[in-house]
Structure formats: structure tokens, C-alpha cells
Structure 1
Amino acid sequence: MVYKSAQNKIEDALEQAEFEERADYLEFEKLNDWTVTSKHFNNIQKKLIQVGAKLITGPRGTGKTHQMRFAHYSCVNDNSKPLSIYVTFNHYLRLETYLHESSNAISIFHSWVLAKIVIACFEEYKILPQNIEFTESDLRSFVIDIEKQNYSEEYKELVSFLNVRTVQDYIESVLSHTNRKRAILLLDDAALTLTNDYLVEFFDIFRSLKSTKISPKASVYPGSTKYGPRFHLGQDAERVPLWLNVSDPEYIDFMKAVIIARFSDNLTIDDDMKQLLMFCSFGIPRAYIMFIRSFIESDRKTAQSKFNSILEEKCKNIIEEYKSISQKLSQFTGIINIGETFLNSILSEVKAFNYEKTQSEEKVISIGISDIDNKAERMIKFLIEAGLLYEQDEVSHGPGRKLRRFIPHISLLVNTKSIIKSRGFKASDILDVLNNKKPPQPVRRKFNKLLSNDDISSLVLNLPPCPSCQSQRIAEGQKFCHICGSELVDGSIFKKCMAQKLLEIPLTPFQKRVIAETTYETIEDVISSSDTAAELRRIKGVGKVHSERIVNKIVSWTNEFLY
């Protein structure tokens, strides 16, 4: 009976909200229950709550939102801590169309950011902004309409009125009413990497909001986030890395605590297997939780076959997710493709090095690369962005001999059998290498040994030509053709997403059959529908559960694309 009760608890955890791995959707009680405190976690919390501007960096799934929301709730519920205002900007790409269609796109974005801050502050503390001529309802209508591409001239006065000083004064008035000494602004999903014009504007706002009483914090990506010419990393804000290195002494204990917090200590999975899955999650707590879910739900007979199938699926997904960047940013298609070649070369070099070692000699999981071509920075940043490469601290081997060290995704190393040469599968042998407290020096290679000269010379943008004279563009962000002077307009990522065919997104065969029997063809058809689930239920064999799953799958795909 004890085992059955424990198993039921695990199944309940798996079923809950279709297993919410993202902290965005968790209530505070659940967020608190699932929070794992550690030296690393507590350090991030300290940085979020203390004075000064901070940038919390890490790839998707490392826990940026979790950290911010936990800090927010801890401040809200403790009057001795600073006033906290939490705002998410995960809908920013819905404003991207204004860059192509409106002359005042930057002003609209500026006001949207500030309006969201005011709304979040009012929602939390219920104190009306006396110094703002517009009501909270006006601001909320503005935000909703802007995100629906419904900007009209009636908002012109609001856009011209709302500014940084006004918002600062409002926050300070809330400080006075709540008897708090200072405030922190937790600006989540601030890495607006798909729209550089907005990104530059956002960090101008971020920098301007900073004062003796207001400390802005933003979550950003480690690689591709651009801060603009007026924002200086280190001077205007401190960078706080969140991604935990798999070689960190705290790593295993932290991951163990993550699973105990989610499932108690009731998992009937071999300890070596659990630890191997921890390493294969590559520092991403959400990935480890998904590994555990897949392992429990697998209908394979043996632990090895379960692991192999899960690992193969994981490797396929992370590469596909990386390559999908080119769907959103077509100008980087060539760089993304060469990045995959670069990653495969790293895996091959690590594998070849380890296979030369005898059983008793130490194996490696990292590579040190020298003489990296400047053109490769974008490529490397995208690989870090996708969580495929972890960059360790740079080391010097004498004057002018800098070695940049990287660990490729552990899942890829294990899946390609790059760690140990063995026909069979033995988790303990792999763990002996991964658990090495004093790992040997990495494989050392020059950059031009990992990529051919042709690949290196091809690390350039795939910029679309001028639509009028077909001349090739000469720079990213070029506004007018240097030959004929025609305006150069890039395609809208948001519109591209809305035009995506439903039958081309990853739905099950049953779900695609249902969609095929409706009038829905594109993402936009579903997003603009008043009640998609009700329409789906008109199809034979589709009830409430199936209709909701289909809608959730479509909405989830859309959010992932626009995230």
C-alpha cells in the first residue's frame, strides 16, 4: 500500500497541469513547494533583492523566471524587504509589426514597457498613480490593444505623456504609502533578441529607471542579447550568471533536491541512472524534470532501453530547437548551419581524444579552442543561447595565448559515445568520468582545425537583396539600398508566425486529422477565433479534453516561436 500511495503521488505530479515545467504558470504555493534552496540559489536571490541594477543570465530552462518570481513573492510578503514589482515582457514580439508599419514604433514600445510597469505595481499594491493623467483601466486597454496590433490615434496623448520620470515618481509614491525604503523592478523575459531596435530602447529605459531608490533587474540570455551603444555591461548593470556548470561541486546535490521537491523521495529509479540523467540535463532543471517524466512514462522494458530512447529524443529535439532559430532569423541561416558543423567537430575531437586513452587514463568532456576567428562570435553565441555549449572561464597559456574552454551538451556526448569506448552500456563507467572532481586539461585545438576555410569564410549574414534593384545588402540593419536608395523592409517574424500552417506544426496524427476537418488553416485562424475549443468539439470523437489539448498545443507552439 505504501508503494502504491507513492506511485499515485508521482502520477498526480505528472498529470498536474500537464506537468508545468515553466514557473510562469505556477501559483506561489506550488512555486514555494518546488523551490530548492542552495548556495547558488541563495546567491541569486541576494543579487535580485540587493541595491543596484542586475542582469540575470542563462539559457531557457535555467530558472530565470523561477528566481524572479520567488524573489518577488518573498519581498511582497515581508515588509522589511524592498518593494517588488514583477513584470514579464514575453509578449513583446506582438509589437514587432509596428517596426514595419508605424513611424512611431519606438515611442509605442517605450510607452508599452512603462505602462506594464505601472499596471504591475497597481495590481500588487492597489495604490492609484496620482501623478499620471490616465487611469489604470486606460493603461490596461492600451497594453491589450497594442499587443493585438490595434494602435489608434486615441492613444497618441498617452504615448507622449508616459515617460520614465513619471513612472519613477509613481513608484516613489508607492514606496511612501507602503513605508518601504526602496524598490526592485523585476523585468522578466527582457532578452528581446528578435527585435534589436526594441532591445536597444529597452535597455535605455532600464538604465534610466535606475535611481537611489529603484533597482532594476532583468533576465537576459548569455549569448545573443545586445544592449545597445548607450548601455555598458558592468558599469550600468552587474551580470549574474544563473546557468550552473555540470562540473560545479554543488551540481549533483542541487539536482537531487530539485527532484525531491517535485516527487518527494519516491522515485523507483536506480541512483546511477538518476545521476546520469542529471548530467544529461546539462544544468537545466526543467530538462531534468522532463527526463524523469519521460523515464517514468516510458513503456520500454529495461532501464537501458528507456534511457537510450529518451536520450535520442532529447538530442533530436535540442538540435531541432537550435536550427529553428533560422526560421525566425533567416539572415542567420548559414551561420546556424555552420554552427552545427562546428558542434559536431567538437564532439568528434573529444571522442577521438578519449578513444586514444587507455581504460585507466582520464577522459575529458571539454575542449579548449585558440585563435577563434572574430566572425565566429555570432555562431558561438547562438550555440550558447540554445544551451548546446557551456563556456567556462577563459584561461591564458602565456602572452597572446588565450584558450576559450567549452563543454558540449552532455546528452550529445553520451549519445555519440564520445566519453568512453564501449560496446555495451554501463552508467557507472560514464559517471566515473563526469564525477571527476579534478578533471584533466581539455582537448586543445585551433579554431581552423574545427572548421574548414570555406566554412569560416561563409560565416556571414544571409541578407535579402533590395526588392527594387536586387542589389545585395552590405550590412545588417541597413534601412535603405546603397545603390538605388529604396527603403529596405525586412519580413515580420510575428506575421510569419501567424501565417504558419497548422498541419505543419508538431501535432499528433489524430490532432492533425481533427484540424483538417475544420476551417482553421493557420495559427492566426486559431488565435483570432473566439472559441476554438468549442469549434473543435463539433468534430466527431472530440470532447473537452481533446479539444483543450489541441488548443494548448497550438498556443504553446506559438508562444515558443515568439519567445
Structure 2
Amino acid sequence: MSSYYLRTESIKYDEILSFSVTNDSDKSIIAALNSPEPCLIEGSRGTGKSFLMRVAELELEMTKSPVLAVFVSFNISSLISTKDPLQFYHWMLAKTLKTLINKLRKKGLLISPHSANLLSNDESDEGQNVENDLKSIVKAYEASYKGKQSVKTDTLPDIEDVKEAIELICLDNSLERMFFFFDEAAHVFRPEQQRQFFSLYKDLRSPYITCNAAIYPGVTYFGDSFEPTHDCIFKKLERNIKDAEYLNYFKEIVFKQADDNTKTTIENQKELFNTLALCCGGNPRMLLKTLQDLPKFNTLSINQLIKDFYRGSIWTEHTELGEKYKGHKVLIDWGRDFLERTVIPAIESYNESRKTKGVEESSIYFWIHKDSPESVKEALRLLTYTGVIRKIDSSIRATRSELGARYEVKYGCIIALKSSPMNMSMPFFNSLSIKKFPEFGKNHSAYIDIKNASGIDLDDDQYKKALLNMLKKPIGVLQLLTEWQKMKLISAGINTIEELHNKTEESLIKEIYLVGPVRARIMKNAATAELLEYLSG
């Protein structure tokens, strides 16, 4: 089978649009990202948040409008660990300004001495000096996990000076506005980082600045001063498997990367492909990964892959969160147990009872009472983050007119339990009804073991211990690296996550046979993105 790009970071910037497939929902999100209003995109891992922001950035670059688009990735936030209570705010500000200055230089745009002076507290009026100051601050923070240095932020400007400088830069260069695209907004298990991110996000608002960001469902903490429904356009990136264009949309995504033989095979065996596309529950990365791991495109192989991935791998990934972050382990383990031992059996029992009665209605949905314990809701939020379930809506009336939230279990997790998922998939799919679901009331017996569990905030000591432990892990845990990439890295003596993180593109070129500048950059970007996603949860 074909080999696929599983992450946006692995795709060359100038090739992004050639891989783009957009439906009406995607187009609406891109339009929101390119509007003057700030926008947040919420979506589980692998749904394509980064990709859509890159498409929006490129569309802005291609228009004749006098605007500047600046893409800033905060994926390395997991490595920041200093005694500075505003460490994340300061690092973000320095990284954002450094990226902005770099983008201005690439575009040949002017930074006046006055603007440069505003961007630095050391009264420098040279853009290069300001960039060097910012670069040293960024590097110091990103090496702070080693515990060997404190970070001097004396040269960082005040936020009001930053906004004034950006206004002057816009006026000097006849720009109407700057668009900042913040990717991997903050470490998902460090709520204080997220609160500081949204402080900066709100502080930067001005007639000359629009901030956009990608966030995860269930694990995002906005803080007291930020309200997503009032302070931005809030968009959810999710795809309903019941939409009329769903299957064709995912076929187009695959065909953008597949070779001719794979395309022909898929066209000749559409039902096999459709089952894999439905199993991923709207997650492009899951579909591409399962296709890439498929030894043969036939019923036997697909049945086995569905069982292995949706009974095993998807649950293992969720459980590993608890192994990485011990403070979350109780909630994470309970959430998995609740889904596997209570919810899914209830869904199966519900489906069997409807079938016995001769009613052609099936379900992959369940309902949770709005007054269920907060610990239950927290465990479910963690399951939405890893994408095992999807929250559909919040105020649905069930039996006796009680209100609650409705969730969807990943389609693949339901049909993987059958002896032959392929044979029952399409009849099962055609009988799905979103109006039918088992209900779990506010005092359900399954809640007893988790009812009084505490929240999921980690203190710094817990977090640093978890981080250092993960950095020692072998690179084999990075699932999205190809086997070829892993083999080449190991052959060059790069065996652990920390060793990989510390390598530069130049050292990869020098140390790995047959790796040139382009391939080294792709490998470094893919490896960095994957290892930092692993570190951040």
C-alpha cells in the first residue's frame, strides 16, 4: 500500500494546497480564520486543525489584500520548566515576536528604528539586535527542562508596546492587518500554561492584529478572563459519519496521497474502503494510519486490522496518558473501564434488543445526565481528547424529560467487537439512528468508584518527573515515525527521545547516510512534532 503523510509538519509548506480537500464545514472554518475576528478551532488529535490553519495562512498569502500571516507553533511548550510564574506568557511573547521579525525579513518588509525600540526593553533600534535578544530568551526557556539555567526577561517589551510596534509596522508597510496562527496552543495537561496562553491571546487584540489558535476538546482551560463564546469565533472541527458527502470526502483525502495502484484497488473494492473510513469516525490521521498499516487490501486483512487497532491500539494510546501523567491515572483508567465495561456493552445490548424485535435501528451513541459527578465528566472529556468518543451536544432531553449530553463512540470501536466487522458494517451503518441511545443517569452505579476523585491539575514537581521519564523513552514509542525513519535514527546512534530532540537538521545530514537537507528537514520536523505530541499527551 501507499505511504502517507500523517502530520501537517511532514508536508512541505509549498505543497500544502496540493493535498488540500475541503468540505463546506472546512471552508467555513477557513473563512473564519481569515476574517478580522479572532478564531479558535477545537478538534481531537489528528482531525486536521494544523492543516486548515496552514491552508488559511496560504490563502491569505495568495490574496491581493495587504495583510501578513504569521504561523507560530507552541508545540515545544512541554519542555518549559522554570521558577518564573509567568514563564509561559514570556516564552510565548518572545517566540511570537521572533517569528514575526523573521517573517518580516523574509517578505522584505521594513522595521523602523522606532518599532525596533518598542520591541525591546534595552532600547535597541536595530531589528537584528532585537531578534537576537528574543532568540536567546526563547532558547533559554526551551532548555529549562534540564534545570541548568534561569531566564532573564529584562529585554522583553510590555504588551502595549508590542501592539504599538505592530501598528507602526503595519502603517510603515501599508499593511491592513497581521494574522497570527497559534498551533499547539499549550501543553494539554498544564492548565496554568493554557490560562496564560489565553491571557496573551486576549491581550494582543487590536485593530491591526487577529489571533487564531488550535485547541483540543475536553482539556482546554480558558481561565477567568476569557470566554470563547464572547471573545472569539469558536469553531469545532469534526465530521459526522452520517453526512451525505462523508465517504467521498475521505476518499479524496486518501487519493491526494495514494499511488495509482492503491486508487484502482480502492475503486474496485469500495465497501472495504468505506468501512475503514467509517471506522475512523471523521479522523483523517486514523484513516491514513490504518491504510498505511494494512498488509493487503482484502476482507481478511481489514477485519484483523480493525480488531487490532480499535480493540487495542486506540485504547493503549489512551491508557498511556495515565502512565505518563500519574496525577490523571485514576480518571483515565476509569474512563476506559466505563466505556469498555459499561457503555459499549450497553450499546451492544441495546442494538441486539432492537434487532430481536425486528426494528432496524442501531446506535453508537450514549447519554450522560447533566448532574452526573464532575469526575465522570472529566473522564469523558479526556476520552474526547484522544478521540475515542465525540461529544455531540449538551442539552438533549432523554427519558422523563431529563437533560444531559449525548456522545458518539468511535464507529470502529463498536464494529471491532464483531467476528467479521466487514460483513456487518454497511447494514449496521445504514440502520444507525442518532435518536436512539442507552442512558446513564446522575446516580448510575458505575460512578461509585470515581465519584470523589480529584481534578487533573498537576503540580510542577509531578510534571517535571513525568517529563524527564518520557525523555528517556526509546524512539520506538513514537508511532507516527515511519520504520525507515526509526531505522535511520537508530543506525546513527539516536536511541532516545531526548537524543532525538537535541539533534539539529545539520547533524542529521552529517550523521545519517542518504539524508540530504530536504529529507533531514522533513525527518526533523516529523520527529519533533511527533515527540512533542507524545510529551504533551
TM-score range, shorter chain: 0.7 to 0.9
Taking structure 2 as the reference length, what is the TM-score of the superposition?
A: 0.82
* Counterpart in the other structure of 1:280: 279
Aligned: 1:337 with 2:337: no
Deviations 1:33-81 (A, max 9, x none): 1111221111011110112121100011111011101110111121227
* Counterpart in the other structure of 2:299: 304
Amino acid at match of 2:386: A
Structure 2 distance, partners of 1:60, 1:389, is: 12
User: 1:305 Cα deviation (Å)?
Assistant: 1.5
Q: 1:477 to 1:321 in 2, by over 3 A?
A: closer
* Counterpart in the other structure of 2:407: 406
Taking structure 1 as the reference length, what is the TM-score of the superposition?
A: 0.79
Q: 1:446 to 1:211 in 2, by over 3 A?
A: same
Deviations 1:304-346 (A, max 9, x none): 2111222133222211111121233211101100000111121
Alignment gaps of 5+ in structure 1: 1-9, 418-422, 463-475, 480-487, 538-542
User: 1:261 Cα deviation (Å)?
Assistant: 2.6
* Counterpart in the other structure of 2:120: none
Deviations 1:238-263 (A, max 9, x none): 32001112233342232122123333
Structure 2 distance, partners of 1:511, 1:398, is: 53
Structure 2 distance, partners of 1:210, 1:128, is: 22
Which runs of structure 2 are paired with 1:42-61 in the superposition (5 Å)?
Answer: 42-61=27-46
Structure 1 distance, partners of 2:420, 2:149, is: 66
Q: Is the 8 A contact 2:306 2:421 kept in 1?
A: no
Which runs of structure 2 are paired with 1:171-186 in the superposition (5 Å)?
Answer: 171-186=166-181
User: 1:140 Cα deviation (Å)?
Assistant: 2.9
User: 1:90 Cα deviation (Å)?
Assistant: 0.9
Q: Is the 8 A contact 1:33 1:261 kept in 2?
A: yes
Q: 1:397 to 1:333 in 2, by over 3 A?
A: closer
Aligned: 1:115 with 2:101: no
Q: 1:57 to 1:503 in 2, by over 3 A?
A: closer
Amino acid at match of 2:464: G
* Counterpart in the other structure of 1:496: 469
Structure 2 distance, partners of 1:376, 1:282, is: 23
Q: 1:171 to 1:457 in 2, by over 3 A?
A: same
> Which residue, out of 54, 61, 80, partners 1:76?
61
Amino acid at match of 1:499: K
Structure 1 distance, partners of 2:166, 2:151, is: 26
* Counterpart in the other structure of 1:320: 316
Q: 1:323 to 1:46 in 2, by over 3 A?
A: same
Q: Is the 8 A contact 1:192 1:225 kept in 2?
A: no
Structure 1 distance, partners of 2:490, 2:56, is: 45
Aligned: 1:382 with 2:361: no
Which runs of structure 2 are paired with 1:508-523 in the superposition (5 Å)?
Answer: 522-523=496-497
Cα RMSD for the two superposed structures: 3.7
Structure 2 distance, partners of 1:280, 1:84, is: 36
> Which residue, out of 136, 149, 165, partners 1:170?
165
Amino acid at match of 2:17: N
SS at match of 1:243: coil
Q: Is the 8 A contact 2:72 2:182 kept in 1?
A: yes
Structure 2 distance, partners of 1:508, 1:121, is: 31
Which runs of structure 2 are paired with 1:254-265 in the superposition (5 Å)?
Answer: 254-263=249-258
User: 1:350 Cα deviation (Å)?
Assistant: 0.7
SS at match of 2:181: strand
User: 1:188 Cα deviation (Å)?
Assistant: 1.2
> Which residue, out of 231, 238, 244, partners 1:243?
238
Structure 1 distance, partners of 2:321, 2:217, is: 16
SS at match of 1:393: strand
Which runs of structure 2 are paired with 1:2-151 in the superposition (5 Å)?
Answer: 11=2, 14=3, 19-80=4-65, 82-95=67-80, 97-98=81-82, 101-102=83-84, 105-106=87-88, 108-119=90-101, 121-130=103-112, 131-132=115-116, 133=124, 134-149=129-144
Amino acid at match of 1:36: V
Q: 1:555 to 1:200 in 2, by over 3 A?
A: closer
Q: 1:79 to 1:144 in 2, by over 3 A?
A: farther
Deviations 1:84-143 (A, max 9, x none): 221111111121x21xx4566356435434434534542553334332234323323432
Amino acid at match of 1:402: L
Structure 2 distance, partners of 1:504, 1:219, is: 25
Amino acid at match of 2:11: L
User: 1:154 Cα deviation (Å)?
Assistant: 8.3
Structure 2 distance, partners of 1:256, 1:514, is: 32
Q: Is the 8 A contact 1:224 1:382 kept in 2?
A: yes
Q: Is the 8 A contact 2:88 2:197 kept in 1?
A: no
Q: 1:164 to 1:156 in 2, by over 3 A?
A: closer
* Counterpart in the other structure of 1:187: 182
* Counterpart in the other structure of 1:420: none
* Counterpart in the other structure of 1:460: 454
Aligned: 1:209 with 2:187: no
Aligned: 1:356 with 2:353: yes
User: 1:215 Cα deviation (Å)?
Assistant: 1.7
Amino acid at match of 1:411: G
Structure 1 distance, partners of 2:465, 2:363, is: 44
Q: 1:503 to 1:430 in 2, by over 3 A?
A: closer
* Counterpart in the other structure of 1:465: none
Q: Is the 8 A contact 1:396 1:402 kept in 2?
A: yes
Q: Sequence identity of aligned pairs in percent?
A: 19
Amino acid at match of 2:287: Y
Q: 1:450 to 1:515 in 2, by over 3 A?
A: farther
Alignment gaps of 5+ in structure 2: 117-123
Structure 1 distance, partners of 2:451, 2:151, is: 51
User: 1:277 Cα deviation (Å)?
Assistant: 0.9
* Counterpart in the other structure of 2:534: 561
Structure 2 distance, partners of 1:189, 1:510, is: 27
Structure 1 distance, partners of 2:338, 2:152, is: 49
Q: Is the 8 A contact 1:88 1:189 kept in 2?
A: yes
